[in-house]
Amino acid sequence: MRLVAAMSGGVDSAVAAARAVEAGHDVTGVHLALSRNPRSYRSGARGCCSIEDSGDARRAADTLGIPFYVWDMSQEFADEVVDDFVAEYEAGRTPNPCLRCNEKIKFAAVLDRALALGFDGVVTGHYAQVREGADGVVEMHRAHDAAKDQSYVLGVLTQDQLSRSHFPLGDSVKPEVRAEAERRGLQVASKPDSHDICFVADGDNAGWLAEKIGPRPGVVVDEDGAVLREHEGAYAYTIGQRRGLRLGVPADDGKPRFVLDIEPVSGTVTVGPREQLRVDALEGFKPLWCGAAPVGRLECTVQLRAHGAEHRAVVEVLDDDTVRVDLLDPAEGIAPGQACVIYDGTRVVGSATITRTHRAAPTA
């Protein structure tokens, strides 16, 4: 097969490309230019789309002896990921830009361009597994390495995208991948993993949003509505947040307070005790299914954060745009805008964007 290898400049994508070559595929390496000014994005070892990363990707392709190109996806990235990130925070929600990037850039725009150029699919360094089920449906499963599993941020992929996606690292653990890169002479063998949001150059999300949105004064209140302090923008807060609240006045019981709710129009941020963060049900909007949509009530598990725990749940499709999730294991600090990814065992069933949560009754 003719495959495009999406090469980020890290060790995972380099080894994934190497394995595709070794498997006999005709592989072309591609690095995505996601900013018209790459220096404005995170640089150095913590990045995933910086100038340094582009150079590392090119050197890896040279070592493998495959063609290499840089594809300019900066406009698509700005429109679909960066602008969406800002808009979601303005609306009081908490988005996951990496999941959005996979949906709109890496497995939509890139795959579409690859197919238009005559390629058969895309190879990436994601830790997930693709298998063909007994009914011929292509299934995505969790990676063998639970600590590196990235199926959560891939839960937006459709059946057509999965059928053209290759994840050669799905059955590996990270130390094996680094050792293999060393054996193959890839200079990125010991390069640290990327973290945080690539387009927030210094890692200060609140400061970055303040520059983009500007001041939006509001107040922080307790559960009774008493004003505790003023703030310059509700976008600096996320549900479940404890640190950085700077409330000054301690709670009556002396216990820490957490962000319970964000009202974006008035800019009101409500704080309260941790037990008020417990959620036992939620609704999700615009579900995306990796195969057929479930029928009836599906007993399953759900993951609500990229590195979060699984929760036993029952999922019901209410209509084409809405799913209801009853959590048998309540979760804490779940915010609208986050993704709910649904699993049947290790298989990814699909995902939806959380629009509403139901607070669990206080425990005795």
Which residue among 49, 98, 198, 290 is the active-site one? 198
Catalytic residue of the set 48, 49, 101, 300: 101
CA distances (Å), 222 to each of 112, 179, 226, 259, 264, in order? 49, 52, 6, 9, 16
Instruction: Please answer whether residues 302 and 313 qualify as being in contact, where contact means their C-beta atoms are separated by less than 8 angstroms.
Output: yes
Interatomic CA distance for residues 9 and 47, integer angstroms = 9
Assess contact for 289 and 350: CB atoms under 8 A. Answer: yes
Active site residue 290: no
Any catalytic annotation for residue 300?
no
Residues acting as catalytic residues: 101, 198
